[in-house]
Amino acid sequence: MTVIETRPSAPVQMARADVAAAVAAAERMLAALGVDTQAEHLRRTAERMVLSYGEVLRPAPFEATDFVNDAKHQGFVIVRDVAFAAICAHHLLPFVGSATVGYLPGARLLGLSKLTRLVEHATRGLQVQENVTQQIADGLQQVVPDNGGMGVIVEAEHLCMTLRGAKARGASTVTSAWRGALARDVSVRSEFLSLAGRGWRP
């Protein structure tokens, strides 16, 4: 069993967080924005806001379980479309999407649910999508180091881009990370993309 050490770019340590100070600051921020913090629906909003951020920003514990590859499986192991929601480090607004993660196993196999845990682990904290993508690949490299190659595709809608600013509703951002044979060999990468069901998508 391997405990991976990768962490989101800005993990929030709630044990060290001063919840009362955060609630007071959130209350002041809302008031400074012109919000009536004494209106019925808003009286406890600052507190809820702080507790919500505390919950979604806390790093998810991750322990990898691996198994011997006794059948000597040499093909891809891919888990497709693992849904996630994360908070963007630049605007503190959510980005919501899915990740497809796969690898070519060596002597060890990773428990399948651990691929989804890797995604959950990488999407906690204040994050940017490019880092999430690389951290999933780095985490996978740590837990199955003798792999023949790996691929990660992350696709997400960023509310900071669709709700405000460019207001590009429906726009999604796709990022990828390739390691080993997938980085070197376009035909291996094509097989991954085909199995991932993305051969016909941009």
Closer Cβ to Zn ion, 37 or 173, answer by number = 173
- Which helix (H) or strand (E) is 152 found in, with range? strand 149-158
- In whole angstroms, how close is the CB of 89 to Zn ion at the nearest point? 7
Q: Is 91 annotated as a binding residue?
A: yes
- Which helix (H) or strand (E) is 23 found in, with range? helix 19-32
Q: For helices 45-57 and 19-32, what crossing angle results, to 10°?
A: 120
Task: Check binding of 91 to Zn ion (CB under 5 A).
Answer: yes
- In whole angstroms, how close is the CB of 161 to Zn ion at the nearest point? 7
What is the number of the residue whose Cβ is closest to Zn ion?
A: 160
- In whole angstroms, how close is the CB of 4 to Zn ion at the nearest point? 26
Task: Check binding of 90 to Zn ion (CB under 5 A).
Answer: yes
DSSP 8-state secondary structure symbol assigned to residue 121: H
Give the number of residues in contact with Zn ion, rule: CB under 5 A.
4
Task: Check binding of 88 to Zn ion (CB under 5 A).
Answer: yes
C-beta atoms surrounding 69 within 10 Å: 16
Report 118-177 residues binding Zn ion (CB under 5 A). Answer: 160
Task: Check binding of 80 to Zn ion (CB under 5 A).
Answer: no
Closest to 148 (Cα-Cα) out of 197, 186, 181, 113: 181
Scanning the structure block, which residue is given the tokens 């690898």?
103
Tokens encoding 169: 């509703």
DSSP 8-state secondary structure symbol assigned to residue 145: T
Task: Check binding of 35 to Zn ion (CB under 5 A).
Answer: no
- In whole angstroms, how close is the CB of 126 to Zn ion at the nearest point? 10
Provide φ and ψ at 198, rounded to 5°: -120, 15
CA distances (Å), 28 to each of 24, 31, 36, 109, 148, in order? Answer: 6, 5, 11, 51, 53
Q: Is 88 annotated as a binding residue?
A: yes
Closer Cβ to Zn ion, 123 or 147, answer by number = 123
Terminal C-alpha separation, the chain: 37
Q: Is 90 annotated as a binding residue?
A: no
Closer Cβ to Zn ion, 92 or 107, answer by number = 92
- In whole angstroms, how close is the CB of 127 to Zn ion at the nearest point? 10
Residue ranges in contact with Zn ion by CB under 5 A: 88, 90-91, 160
